[in-house]
C-alpha cells in the first residue's frame, strides 16, 4: 500500500513538474527559429500561477457542466498519468487491458470539454467542439490500430508492457513495423494535443482554432486547470512515444532515466521544429492527413500479421 | 443449471414447456427491470392523454407484450416460441399505433408489422429444418441433443441471422427500426429498443446454443455484421435531427456491439478456447442488459423533453438543463453510459468485449487475428462516434439557449421541473442501476460469465476468471480515485478563490454585440463535418443557396440524411413488387365460379394425394 502511494506521488511530481516545461521548450524552439528570443522555458509555470490569481467570470448561459468540466478534465489527466510509465519509473497502476481505460478516460475528458464548449451557446465554441469530435474519431482509429500492432508484438494488453522493456529488442526484428507505429502515433500526438499542422495553439483567429476556441469562455482557475491538463496530456503522449522510439536500454536505472528525459527533450524539440516548419493544414485536409496516418498504422498491422 | 416446467397443452407438436437456464435468466433480468420502469414512467407520461384515448387497451397490450416477452425467452418448444413471438409482434404493433390518428404513426406501425413477418417467415423455415433433423421433435433441448451436418448447420445459421436479424435490426435489415421507434409513445419506444429488439439477439444466442458445432465462418460473419451495423448505425444516428430517431439508430449501433461480442464468443468456441468464448458471450450478454438500462433511460428522458416542448427536433431545442434539471442530469447519465465512458455500465461491457477481442489476437489463427483487429478498431471508432453523437444531443438539447422561437421555453421556465414524479422515479431507478453496474460490476459480470460459459458449452479454469475480474476491480478503484481527485480539485478551486462570488456576464462573443441564440451551432452543423466525410454511405444531401457576394439575400438551407438500405435496397424492390402484383391483378379473371372450381380441383388433388 505504502509503495503504491509513494509511486503515485512520485508520478504526480514528475508529471506536474515536467509537463509545463515540455510546453515551454516547444514554445522556446518556435521562438528561436522564428528569430525571436522568446520567453523563458519556465514561462508556462508563471502563466499558470498568474491564472490562479485571476478572477473567475462565467457566462449567464452556462450551467454546472461548464463549472465542473475543468476539474473533471484535469482529474482525468492526472489519473491517466498514473497508468503511463515514465521510462524506467513503473506506472503505479498497471493491469491487463489498461490501454482501454486510458483511451476511455481521455474520452471522458473530451466528452466534458465538448459539452462545456456547447454550454456557452456561441457558434465559435460550437465550431471548435464539432471539429474536436470529428478529428478525435479519426485519431482514435489510428491510436487503436497502433495498440493492436503493439499488443500482437508483445502479446500483452498492458501499456506498461507494450512500451516496456521488450520494445528495444523489437527494433532489430520488426523495425519497419515500429517505424510505421512511431510515425502514425506521432500524428495522433499532434492531433490529440492540438498542435500544428492540425490546430494552432497560438493563433487568435477563433475561426481557425479547435482546442483554443473551445476554452474561450474559461477564465481564472478554470483556465489554469484546462491548460495544465493539456500540458499533462501532451506529456503523457510523449511519454508513450519516447520509449518506443529509443532503440536501446542500458539496464541501469539512472542512465535509463537520463536517456528517457533526453528523449523527451528531443521530442519537444522535434514538435517545435514541426510547428515552425509547417503551416496549419486546411480543415478539410486534416482528415486526409489523419487517414494517411491510419493507412500507415494499418499497413503496420498487416506486416505484423505477416511476420509473426 | 436449468429448470424445465412442462404443462399439458392440446396443440399438435406443441408442449407448454418453459425452461429457465442461464441464458434466459439474463434476458429475464432485463425484461423485468425495464417493463416495471417503463410502466411507472407511462403512468406519468400518459396523463395528458387521459380521456382522449382508450387507456384500457393500451394497458392490455402493454401487459400482453410483457407476458409474451417473458414467454419468448423461456419457451422450450418451437410452437410455443413462435406463438409467443407472434403475440409479441402484435402487442407491439398495437402499442406503436397509440397515436393512431396520425398518418405517419399508422404507416410506421404497418412497416413494423411487415418487417417482423418477413423475419418470421425465415424463422418458420429454420425451425422446420431443425425439427426435421431432430426426427420431428419440437422441443429445444431435444433438438440441441442431435447432430447437424455442417451444411445444414450453416443454412440454419443463415436463416437465423435473417429471421432474428430483422427483429434485432442488423444493418441492411434495420429499416423498420428508425420509423417505428419515434412513432411509439416514449415508454413503448424504451421497451422496444431495450427489449423487443433484444429478442432477436436472444434468438441468435439460442440457435448458437442449439447448434453445438457451427462452421468457422459463422463467427466471422457475426463479427462483420457487428462492425458494419455498429458503424453504420452510429453514422446514421449522427445525421439525424429528430431525437428519438437518433436514439433508434443508436440501438442499431449497440446491436452491432453485441454482435461483435457474440462473434468473438463463437470464434472462441469454434477454435476451442473456452475462456475466450465465455468472455465474448459474457460481454455481449452484459451489453444486452446494459443497453436495456441506458437506452431505456435515454428514451424516457427523450419522452420527458418531448412532453415538455412538444417537439423532438434537436435543431429547435436548447437550454433545457435550466428548466429540467432532473431530466437533464439523468439524461447525462444515460449519455455517458451509452458512450461507454468509465463510471457507468456501458464501459464495463465494452471493456469485456474489448478484452475478448484482444485475447482473440493472441489465441486465434491468422484470419481470426485479422478480424479481431478489425473488431477492435471498429469498436473504438464506434465509441468515438457515439461520443460525438451524444455530445451533440446533450449540447444542443440541454445546454446553450433555446434555438427556435416556436418552442416556448418561457412558458415552462417559471415552474421548476414540472415533469411528473412517476417519470422521474422511473428514470432515477434506471440511472441508479447504470451506476451500480458501473461501480460494482462483479455481481453482474459473474452472472453473465456463467451464462457465457453455458453458451460456450465448455467450462474454463476457475483462475482464468480472475484475468477479467482483477482488471475490473482495478478499474473501479481508478474511477473512484478519479472522483476523489475531481472533488479535491473543486475544493482547491474554492480555497484559491475564497468565497468570492464569480462574475456573471454574457458569453464572450468576440466583441460582437447583437448576440442571438440562433448563432449557436445546431445539431446539424455540429455533425456536418462527420456526415460529409461519410456522405457516400449516408446519402447526405444538402439543399439551399450558398452565400454569394458582399450583400447576400435572405436564403434557406436544408440538409437530410437518407437511409441507404431503405433507398437503394428496399424501395426499388418494393416498387417492383407493387408493379408485379398490379400486373397479376389485371390479368386474373374475375369470375367467382372460376375460383370455386380452383378450390374444388385442389380438394380433388389432395384427396388423390392422400389415397395414393
pLDDT tens across B251-274, in order? Answer: 999 999 999 999 999 999 999 999
- Residue B513 pLDDT more than 80? no
- Residue B530 pLDDT more than 80? yes
| Residues of A with Cβ-Cβ distance to B494 under 8 angstroms | none
Is the same domain home to B46 and B134? Answer: yes
Cα–Cα distance, B216 to B270 (Å, whole number): 6
CA-nearest residue to A294 within chain B is: B377
Which of A117, A121, A128 is the best residue to mutate to test the B interface, defined by the most B CB atoms within 10 Å of its own CB?
A: A121
CA–CA min distance A207, chain B (Å): 11
B507·A123 Cβ contact <8 A: no
| Residues of B with Cβ-Cβ distance to A117 under 8 angstroms | 395
- Residue B487 pLDDT more than 60? yes
A115·B394 Cβ contact <8 A: yes
CA-nearest residue to B489 within chain A is: A71
SS3 A257: helix
pLDDT band at B6 (very low <50, low <70, confident <90, very high): confident
A98 and B CB contact within 8 Å: yes
pLDDT of residue B498: 77
Last residue of a domain, one of B185, B215, B245: B215
Closest alpha carbon to A304 in B360, B276, B370, B220: B370
Mean pLDDT, rounded, for A72-82: 96
Q: Mention every residue, 6+ apart, whose C-beta is less than 8 A from residue B399.
A: A62, A63, A65, A115, A118, A119, A121, B318, B319, B321
Q: Who among A55, A145, A206 is closest to B377 (CB)?
A: A145
The pLDDT tens digits of the residues spanning A270-298 come to: 999 999 998 888 888 898 999 999 999 99
CA–CA min distance A165, chain B (Å): 20
pLDDT band at B569 (very low <50, low <70, confident <90, very high): confident
A189 and B CB contact within 8 Å: no
pLDDT of residue B507: 84
pLDDT of residue B229: 95
Does any domain span residue B27? Answer: yes
- Residue B600 pLDDT more than 70? yes
> What rounded mean pLDDT belongs to chain A?
90
Is the same domain home to B199 and B223? Answer: no
Does any domain span residue B484? Answer: yes
Higher pLDDT, B133 or B331: B331
Is the same domain home to B240 and B251? Answer: yes
CA–CA min distance B145, chain A (Å): 38
Mean pLDDT, rounded, for A95-123: 93
A11 and B CB contact within 8 Å: no
Does any domain span residue B511? Answer: no
The pLDDT tens digits of the residues spanning B22-78 come to: 999 999 999 999 999 999 999 999 988 888 887 889 999 999 999 999 999 999 989
A111·B339 Cβ contact <8 A: yes
CA–CA min distance B528, chain A (Å): 8
The answer to whether A158 touches A90, Cβ cutoff 8 Å, is no
Q: CA quadruple B564, B570, B576, B579: dihedral positive or negative?
A: negative
| Residues of A with Cβ-Cβ distance to B521 under 8 angstroms | 118, 123, 125-127, 129-130
Is the same domain home to B42 and B80? Answer: yes
A278 and B CB contact within 8 Å: no
Of chain A residues 103-132, which have a CB less than 8 A from chain B? 103-105, 107-108, 110-111, 114-115, 117-127, 129-131
Closest alpha carbon to B385 in B547, B279, B232: B232
Please name the helix (run of DSSP H) or strand (run of DSSP E) that holds residue B503, with its range, or none: strand B503-505
**C-alpha cell read off for A40:** 523563458
- Residue B415 pLDDT more than 60? no
Number of domains present in the structure of chain B: 3
Question: For residue B522, what are the CA distances in angstroms to A51, B395, B399, B401?
Answer: 32, 9, 11, 11
Is the same domain home to B197 and B229? Answer: no
pLDDT band at B543 (very low <50, low <70, confident <90, very high): confident
Is the same domain home to B1 and B135? Answer: yes
Last residue of a domain, one of B193, B215, B237: B215
- ipTM confidence score: 0.95
Does any domain span residue B224? Answer: yes
pLDDT of residue B466: 87
A288 and B CB contact within 8 Å: no
- In this structure, the strands spanning B503-505 and A57-59 are parallel
CA-nearest residue to A74 within chain B is: B486
Is the same domain home to B93 and B81? Answer: yes
Does any domain span residue B295? Answer: yes
pLDDT of residue B562: 86
Which of A64, A107, A160 is the best residue to mutate to test the B interface, defined by the most B CB atoms within 10 Å of its own CB?
A: A107
Question: Residues B454, B459, B464, B469: what is their CA dihedral angle, to the nearest 10 degrees?
Answer: 20
Is the same domain home to B64 and B146? Answer: yes
pLDDT of residue B414: 52
Query: A–B: how many Cβ contacts below 8 A?
Result: 237
A281 and B CB contact within 8 Å: no
Q: Mention every residue, 6+ apart, whose C-beta is less than 8 A from residue B149.
A: none
Is the same domain home to B358 and B379? Answer: yes
| Residues of A with Cβ-Cβ distance to B394 under 8 angstroms | 115, 118
| Residues of A with Cβ-Cβ distance to B509 under 8 angstroms | 122, 124
The pLDDT tens digits of the residues spanning B216-246 come to: 999 999 999 999 999 999 999 999 999 999 9
Closest alpha carbon to B127 in B116, B138, B141: B138
- Residue B525 pLDDT more than 80? yes
pLDDT band at A201 (very low <50, low <70, confident <90, very high): confident
pTM above 0.90, yes or no: yes
Q: Who among A95, A111, A222 is closest to B341 (CB)?
A: A111
Q: Who among A68, A126, A134 is closest to B525 (CB)?
A: A126
CA triplet B409, B414, B419: central angle to 5 degrees?
75
pLDDT of residue B284: 96
Q: Who among B350, B399, B515 is closest to A63 (CB)?
A: B399
Work out the number of other CB atoms within 10 angstroms of the CB of residue B529.
Answer: 20
| Residues of B with Cβ-Cβ distance to A100 under 8 angstroms | 350-351, 354-355
The pLDDT tens digits of the residues spanning A13-62 come to: 999 999 999 999 999 999 999 999 989 999 999 999 999 988 889 998 89
Strand spans (E) along chain A: 57-59
Q: Mention every residue, 6+ apart, whose C-beta is less than 8 A from residue B283.
A: B261, B264, B265, B349, B350, B352, B353, B355, B356, B448, B452
Is the same domain home to B186 and B317? Answer: no
Q: Who among B381, B390, B496 is closest to A52 (CB)?
A: B496
What angle, rounded to 10 degrees, do the helices at B274-309 and B442-456 form? 120
Q: In degrees rounded to 5, what are phi and psi of residue B340?
A: 70, 35
The answer to whether B295 touches B254, Cβ cutoff 8 Å, is yes
State the residue range of the domain holding B307: 217-494
Does any domain span residue B154? Answer: yes
| Residues of B with Cβ-Cβ distance to A60 under 8 angstroms | 504-507
Q: CA quadruple B349, B352, B358, B361: dihedral positive or negative?
A: negative
Which of B317, B364, B395 is the best residue to mutate to test the A interface, defined by the most A CB atoms within 10 Å of its own CB?
A: B395
pLDDT of residue B420: 85
Mean pLDDT, rounded, for B365-369: 90
pLDDT of residue B406: 64
Q: Who among B351, B395, B485 is closest to A114 (CB)?
A: B395
| Residues of B with Cβ-Cβ distance to A62 under 8 angstroms | 399, 507
- Residue B574 pLDDT more than 60? yes
Is the same domain home to B328 and B388? Answer: yes
- Residue A234 pLDDT more than 60? yes
Q: Who among A100, A118, A136 is closest to B395 (CB)?
A: A118
B342-346, B505-509, B547-551: range with highest mean pLDDT: B342-346
Is the same domain home to B123 and B42? Answer: yes
CA–CA min distance A35, chain B (Å): 30
Closest alpha carbon to B249 in B425, B393, B40: B393
Last residue of a domain, one of B494, B519, B554: B494
A160 and B CB contact within 8 Å: no
Amino acid at each position: 500500500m505504502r509503495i503504491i502511494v509513494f509511486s503515485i506521488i512520485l508520478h504526480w511530481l514528475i508529471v506536474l513538474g515536467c509537463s509545463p516545461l515540455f510546453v515551454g521548450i516547444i514554445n522556446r524552439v518556435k521562438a528561436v527559429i522564428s528569430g525571436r528570443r522568446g520567453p523563458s522555458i519556465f514561462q508556462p509555470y508563471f502563466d499558470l500561477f498568474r491564472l490562479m490569481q485571476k478572477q473567475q467570470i462565467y457566462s449567464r448561459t452556462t450551467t454546472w457542466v461548464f463549472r465542473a468540466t475543468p476539474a473533471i478534465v484535469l482529474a482525468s489527466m492526472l489519473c491517466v498519468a498514473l497508468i503511463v510509465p515514465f521510462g524506467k519509473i513503473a506506472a503505479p497502476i498497471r493491469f491487463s487491458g489498461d490501454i482501454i481505460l486510458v483511451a476511455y478516460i481521455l474520452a471522458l475528458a473530451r466528452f466534458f470539454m465538448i459539452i462545456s464548449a456547447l454550454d456557452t451557446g456561441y457558434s465559435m465554441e460550437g465550431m471548435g467542439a464539432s471539429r474536436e469530435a470529428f478529428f478525435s474519431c479519426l485519431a482514435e482509429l489510428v491510436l487503436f490500430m497502433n495498440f493492436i500492432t503493439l499488443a500482437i508484438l508483445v502479446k500483452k494488453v498492458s501499456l506498461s508492457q507494450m512500451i516496456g522493456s521488450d520494445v528495444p529488442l523489437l527494433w532489430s526484428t520488426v523495425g519497419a513495423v515500429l517505424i510505421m507505429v512511431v510515425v502514425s502515433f506521432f500524428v495522433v500526438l499532434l492531433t490529440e494535443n492540438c498542435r500544428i499542422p492540425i490546430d494552432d495553439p497560438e493563433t487568435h483567429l477563433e475561426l481557425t482554432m479547435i482546442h483554443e476556441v473551445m476554452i474561450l469562455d474559461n477564465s481564472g482557475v478554470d483556465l489554469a486547470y484546462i491548460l495544465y491538463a493539456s500540458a499533462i496530456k501532451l506529456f503523457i503522449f510523449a511519454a508513450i512515444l519516447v520509449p518506443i522510439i529509443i532503440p536501446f536500454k542500458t539496464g541501469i536505472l539512472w542512465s535509463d532515466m537520463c536517456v528517457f528525459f533526453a528523449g523527451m527533450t528531443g521530442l519537444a524539440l522535434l514538435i517545435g521544429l514541426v510547428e515552425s516548419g509547417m503551416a496549419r493544414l486546411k480543415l478539410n485536409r486534416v482528415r486526409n492527413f489523419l487517414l494517411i496516418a491510419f493507412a500507415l498504422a494499418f499497413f503496420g498491422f498487416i506486416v505484423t500479421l505477416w511476420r509473426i | 443449471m436449468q429448470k424445465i416446467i412442462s404443462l399439458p397443452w392440446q396443440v399438435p407438436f406443441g408442449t407448454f414447456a418453459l425452461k429457465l437456464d442461464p441464458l434466459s435468466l439474463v434476458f429475464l433480468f432485463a425484461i423485468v427491470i425495464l417493463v416495471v420502469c417503463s410502466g411507472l414512467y407511462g403512468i406519468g407520461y400518459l396523463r395528458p392523454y387521459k380521456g382522449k384515448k382508450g387507456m384500457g387497451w393500451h394497458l392490455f397490450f402493454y401487459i400482453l407484450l410483457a407476458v409474451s416477452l417473458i414467454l419468448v425467452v423461456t419457451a422450450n418448444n418451437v410452437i410455443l416460441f413462435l406463438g409467443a413471438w407472434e403475440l409479441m409482434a402484435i402487442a407491439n404493433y398495437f402499442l406503436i399505433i397509440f397515436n393512431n390518428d396520425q398518418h405517419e404513426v399508422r404507416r410506421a406501425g404497418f412497416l413494423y408489422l411487415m418487417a417482423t413477418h418477413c423475419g418470421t417467415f425465415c424463422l418458420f423455415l429454420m425451425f422446420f429444418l431443425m425439427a426435421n433433423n431432430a426426427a420431428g421433435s419440437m422441443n429445444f433441448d431435444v433438438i440441441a441433443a442431435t447432430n447437424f451436418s455442417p451444411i445444414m448447420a450453416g443454412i440454419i445459421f443463415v436463416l437465423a441471422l435473417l429471421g432474428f436479424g430483422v427483429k434485432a435490426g442488423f444493418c441492411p435489415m434495420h429499416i423498420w427500426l428508425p420509423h417505428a421507434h419515434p412513432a411509439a409513445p416514449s415508454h413503448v419506444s424504451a421497451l422496444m429498443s431495450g427489449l423487443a429488439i433484444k429478442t432477436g439477439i436472444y434468438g441468435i444466442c439460442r440457435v448458437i446454443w442449439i447448434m453445438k458445432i457451427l462452421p468457422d465462418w459463422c463467427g466471422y460473419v457475426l463479427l462483420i455484421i457487428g462492425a458494419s451495423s455498429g458503424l453504420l448505425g452510429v453514422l446514421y444516428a449522427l445525421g439525424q435531427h429528430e431525437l428519438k430517431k437518433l436514439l433508434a439508430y443508436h440501438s442499431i449501433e449497440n446491436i452491432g456491439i453485441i454482435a461483435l461480442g457474440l462473434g468473438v464468443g463463437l470464434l472462441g468456441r469454434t477454435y476451442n478456447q473456452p475462456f475466450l468464448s465465455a468472455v465474448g458471450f459474457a460481454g455481449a450478454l452484459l451489453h444486452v442488459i446494459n443497453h436495456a438500462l441506458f437506452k431505456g433511460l435515454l428514451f424516457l428522458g427523450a419522452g420527458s423533453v418531448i412532453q415538455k416542448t412538444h417537439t423532438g427536433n434537436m435543431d429547435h431545442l436548447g437550454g433545457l438543463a435550466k428548466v429540467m434539471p432532473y431530466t437533464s442530469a439523468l439524461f447525462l447519465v444515460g449519455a455517458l453510459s451509452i458512450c461507454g465512458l468509465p463510471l457507468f455500465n456501458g464501459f464495463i461491457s465494452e471493456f469485456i468485449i474489448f478484452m475478448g477481442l484482444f485475447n482473440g489476437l493472441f489465441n486465434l489463427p491468422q484470419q481470426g487475428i485479422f478480424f479481431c483487429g478489425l473488431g477492435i478498431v471498429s469498436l473504438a471508432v464506434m465509441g468515438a462516434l457515439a461520443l460525438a453523437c451524444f455530445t451533440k444531443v446533450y449540447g444542443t438539447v440541454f445546454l446553450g439557449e433555446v434555438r427556435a422561437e416556436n418552442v416556448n421555453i418561457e412558458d415552462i421556465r417559471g415552474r421548476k421541473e414540472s415533469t411528473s414524479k412517476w417519470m422521474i422515479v422511473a428514470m432515477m431507478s434506471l440511472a441508479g442501476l447504470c451506476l451500480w453496474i458501473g461501480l460494482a460490476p462483479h455481481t453482474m459480470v459473474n452472472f453473465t460469465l456463467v451464462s457465457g460459459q453455458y453458451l460456450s458449452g465448455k467450462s474454463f479454469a476457475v483462475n482464468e476468471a480472475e484475468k477479467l475480474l482483477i482488471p475490473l476491480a482495478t478499474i473501479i478503484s481508478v474511477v473512484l480515485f478519479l472522483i476523489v481527485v475531481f472533488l479535491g480539485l473543486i475544493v482547491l478551486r474554492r480555497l484559491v478563490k475564497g468565497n468570492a462570488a464569480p462574475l456573471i456576464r454574457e458569453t464572450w462573443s468576440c466583441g460582437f454585440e447583437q448576440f442571438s441564440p440562433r448563432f449557436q451551432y445546431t445539431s446539424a452543423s455540429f455533425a456536418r463535418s462527420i456526415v460529409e466525410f461519410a456522405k457516400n454511405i449516408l446519402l447526405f444531401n444538402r439543399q439551399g443557396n450558398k452565400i454569394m457576394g458582399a450583400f447576400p439575400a435572405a436564403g434557406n438551407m436544408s440538409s437530410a440524411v437518407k437511409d441507404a438500405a431503405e433507398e437503394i435496397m428496399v424501395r426499388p424492390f418494393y416498387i417492383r413488387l407493387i408493379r408485379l402484383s398490379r400486373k397479376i391483378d389485371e390479368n386474373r379473371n374475375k369470375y367467382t365460379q372460376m375460383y370455386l372450381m380452383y378450390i374444388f380441383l385442389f380438394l380433388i388433388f389432395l384427396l388423390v394425394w392422400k389415397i395414393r
